[in-house]
Structure 1
Amino acid sequence: MKLAVVGGGSTYTPELIDGFARLRDTLPIEELVLVDPAADRLELVSGLARRIFAKQDHAGRITTTTDVDAGVADADAVLLQLRVGGQAARNQDETWPLECGCVGQETTGAGGLAKALRTVPVVLDIAERVRRTNPDAWIIDFTNPVGIVTRALLQAGHKAVGLCNVAIGFQRKFARLLEVEPGQVHLDHVGLNHLSWELGVRLGGPDGENVLPKLLAEHGDAIADDLHLPRKLVDRLGVVPSYYLRYFYAHDEVVRELGTKPSRAAEVAAMEKELLEMYGDPALDEKPELLAKRGGAFYSEAAVDLAASLLGDGGSPVQVVNTYNNGTLPFLADDAVIEVQARVGRDGATPLAVPALDPLYAGLIANVTAYEDLALEAALRGGRDRVFKALLAHPLIGQYDYAEGLTDRLIAHNREHLAWA
């Protein structure tokens, strides 16, 4: 089995490598190709990757290339984990929206739209190269904003599934609180990427006992603290929202906080510099503890599980993924991309049935899906007016003067990445 990781020079990659090494029986990789235009980073990351494989007695071969076509040739699956513009572009996404009194964040709001506009054309170009080189390869998208990027891939006819680590993070957290194995925890996970709720936590499988009320009663303070939301709100909802819902439920509070501290991008850039120095140490043969602060917890385990299911029979039959709605949420179009539990196999992902949603959740899902429709249109066709409409439609913006100011700033800060600007 051959896998390619586009964006393989990312400081995330050793997390992925560690998972590939530990879970080699689930996903038996013979060759892993790390693809990245940054040859200097590739050298550092691949050196550590080979040492991790060697320490854990993994027989797979790790190669590198800066050439996408060469890297994806004959690959059974291609993982996408890119960041167009790097941390510098992310830093802009997290700062200029604050000038208009709006959240600055890399996956939602105006910053999320900027990332989508930069990213979608690049991802589609890579996907076309994969299709020309190996039309049977699966594309696993971990590139944010995952929902919009996955929709772009599916709409263009690619064999693609979107992946996020939010659900597996909740699964592992709840398993620790319940003192059970993670595989025993099934989430009633419903929504969009970075806009989701855990409506139930079931033991043993989709039809198991719902222990969410017990979790909230016994561990509500810890859960609310992790979400940075008041315990009383979580209790009133009776569900566990993704921590990204804080941008919606406490928008103004978050804006005030972000205005008083360095951006997350600045923190990550400093962390990446330190990580790359560590990766260059020939004595280092495991992922460093600092990597846990970088983000992406359990990403490797989710990626292994998904790839194993798409390529064979080694993965879990039911996983949380991003895929076409196809009637699952009746208030959305079939070609909307949702994030829910799905049966995953060689033919792709089929969402499980979802009970009727409270309007509190359905309304926000519908609103953000409408924004994502407009965001994808702007990413594919360009134009100031399309950018403005997408921003105006976003529930975190929604006022024409905000949308006007944000449109001007978005274009000014991203002109080099926008072919039409």
Structure 2
Amino acid sequence: MKKFSIVIAGGGSTFTPGIVMMLLENQERLPIRKLKLYDNFAERQETVAEACKILLQERAPQIEFSYTTDPVDAFSDIDFCMAHIRPGLYAMRELDEKIPLKHGCVGQETCGAGGIAYGLRSIPAVIELIDYMEKYSPKAWMLNYSNPAAIVAEACRVLRPKAQVLNICDMPIDIENRFAEILGYKSRKQFDVMYYGLNHFGWWTEIKDTSTGENLMPRIRKHVKENGYLTPSGMNGVQHADDSWKDTFIKVRDVYALDPQTMPNTYLKYYLYPDYVVEHSNKDFTRANEVMAGREKKVFTECRRIIANGTAKDTSIQVEEHASYIVDLATAIAFNTKERMLLIVPNNGSIGNFDPTATVEIPCIVDNSGAKPMQIGNIPEFQKGMMNQQVSVEKLVVEAHIEGSYLKLWQALTLSATIPSAAVAKAILDDLIEANKDYWVTLN
């Protein structure tokens, strides 16, 4: 069986050790000959990489491992780039959250003003990765799960339309894992789903048992009406397990009430109940602070412990099992498995009564030529109206980046359902420009 060369872009991420372990767990499906980490933050990456080096020496010494800040080394001789980058790290995420909250608006990593700010930092960084990949390994594929995925995917559509890039998000995976637990299934792969929307902005319309064809929606509806997406095991998962997520999963009850025929993505609460979100936000200790005090500290402490001890045999780092969808995607391309997956792709008529140029999140069949979107048909007016508004926000953000347009970015913020007026949008924008002066294009 062919073995593959992979570079993980974002080598200094706290998710990287768990993803490395996940890749090792899946060697039978996706054999690896070479694994590289790439990051432009050398010191941060070195801590993660040296721990991963020990991990690989003990568990898979046959895999050639390296890490670098040199894009030539990183992107030469690769089959896949798995990208999960965060320009500005958590210090900028903290500002993304706290600046909008200061103005009485939702402060969130991928939604509203914070997501727009993050998007404008991510666009040039992801495009740079694509260009490196195409220059040094022109046959490689980028599997991008960098946030905010909706804005990044729209930028890829406009700026690099022919690039071999597939954009994907783990939130639907996590929710489908919750469906599996609610239903008493061992795996989300035991049922088929239909889903449509934008990234972090969508709805499940169908959940069926793969083997029997049984409609499972009535059973899920009964649970969600009372418990939201809280599962019998509570908040014990590795991913999305902090206290702030508990409120998000409970709030699904209210999001679900707006359309009980579907199951909503959790992030819809930010657009449908922004007043509630702001009221229940701690303006001094946001999600970024929670991550820095929790996961960030925990992972780097463990990496340093592994390095000091020279062994990872007793590590507390867990396999990022939720991230096995990345292997599903790579395997589908590598071995033409025709896996059915939710991807973020140009609509091109898949949703019949929606903008064909919008980047939508829908089921696709993945083979060695990429993604083949499935037909969704027409969607209801409520969802279409929400999506029309949000996709215009995303398009305006990308246009603002390309044109260096202050006006279009102000329009994007004004159009966001998380911001109440053009005046508030302008005040937030001016603060964000100052905070992001080292990252954004110059706006005129």
- Whether TM-score is above 0.5 comes out as yes
Q: Deviation of residue 129 (structure 1)?
A: 1.6
Contact kept in structure 1, 2:119 and 2:148, CA below 8 Å: yes
For residues 250 and 274 of structure 2, the distance between their equivalents in structure 1, rounded to whole angstroms, comes to 12
Q: Deviation of residue 114 (structure 1)?
A: 0.6
For residues 96 and 267 of structure 1, the distance between their equivalents in structure 2, rounded to whole angstroms, comes to 17
Which letter does structure 2 place at the counterpart of 1:284?
A
Q: 2:186 aligns with which of 181, 184, 190?
A: 181
Q: Deviation of residue 103 (structure 1)?
A: 0.3
Structure 2 residue runs of 5 or longer lacking an equivalent are 231-245
Length-normalised TM-score, structure 2: 0.87
Q: Deviation of residue 287 (structure 1)?
A: 6.2
For residues 208 and 345 of structure 1, the distance between their equivalents in structure 2, rounded to whole angstroms, comes to 24
Q: 1:246 aligns with which of 257, 262, 269?
A: 269
Residues 130-151 of structure 1, C-alpha deviation per residue, up to 9 Å, x if partnerless?
Answer: 1111221111111111121122
Which letter does structure 1 place at the counterpart of 2:181?
R
In 2 relative to 1, CA 62–285 (structure 1 residues): closer, same or farther, beyond 3 Å?
farther
For the pair 1:134 / 2:137, whether they are aligned, the reply is yes
Contact kept in structure 2, 1:388 and 1:403, CA below 8 Å: yes
Which letter does structure 1 place at the counterpart of 2:302?
M
Structure 1 residue runs of 5 or longer lacking an equivalent are none
For residues 134 and 229 of structure 2, the distance between their equivalents in structure 1, rounded to whole angstroms, comes to 44
For residues 91 and 331 of structure 1, the distance between their equivalents in structure 2, rounded to whole angstroms, comes to 38
The match for 1:277 is 301
For the pair 1:200 / 2:214, whether they are aligned, the reply is no
Which letter does structure 2 place at the counterpart of 1:242?
N
Which letter does structure 1 place at the counterpart of 2:166?
V
Pairing of 1:36-185 with structure 2 (within 5 A) = 36-57=39-60, 59-155=62-158, 156=160, 157-182=162-187, 183-185=189-191
Q: 2:347 aligns with which of 305, 325, 328?
A: 325
Aligned residues: CA RMSD: 2.2
Q: Deviation of residue 42 (structure 1)?
A: 2.2
Q: Deviation of residue 359 (structure 1)?
A: 1.4
For residues 257 and 47 of structure 2, the distance between their equivalents in structure 1, rounded to whole angstroms, comes to 47
SS at match of 1:198: strand
Pairing of 1:208-227 with structure 2 (within 5 A) = 208-218=213-223, 220-225=225-230, 227=249
Q: Deviation of residue 59 (structure 1)?
A: 3.2
SS at match of 1:416: coil
**What fraction of aligned residue pairs are identical, expressed as a percent?**
27
Q: How many residues get paired?
A: 414
Which letter does structure 2 place at the counterpart of 1:150?
A
Which letter does structure 1 place at the counterpart of 2:277?
V
Contact kept in structure 1, 2:194 and 2:207, CA below 8 Å: yes
Contact kept in structure 1, 2:56 and 2:63, CA below 8 Å: yes
For residues 40 and 230 of structure 1, the distance between their equivalents in structure 2, rounded to whole angstroms, comes to 40
For residues 18 and 36 of structure 2, the distance between their equivalents in structure 1, rounded to whole angstroms, comes to 15
For residues 195 and 185 of structure 1, the distance between their equivalents in structure 2, rounded to whole angstroms, comes to 21
SS at match of 1:248: helix
Contact kept in structure 2, 1:171 and 1:185, CA below 8 Å: no
For the pair 1:388 / 2:410, whether they are aligned, the reply is yes
Q: Deviation of residue 317 (structure 1)?
A: 1.5
SS at match of 1:62: strand
Residues 33-75 of structure 1, C-alpha deviation per residue, up to 9 Å, x if partnerless?
Answer: 1001222222221233234445544732221111122201121
For residues 29 and 172 of structure 2, the distance between their equivalents in structure 1, rounded to whole angstroms, comes to 20
SS at match of 1:361: helix
For the pair 1:264 / 2:287, whether they are aligned, the reply is yes
Which letter does structure 2 place at the counterpart of 1:94?
E
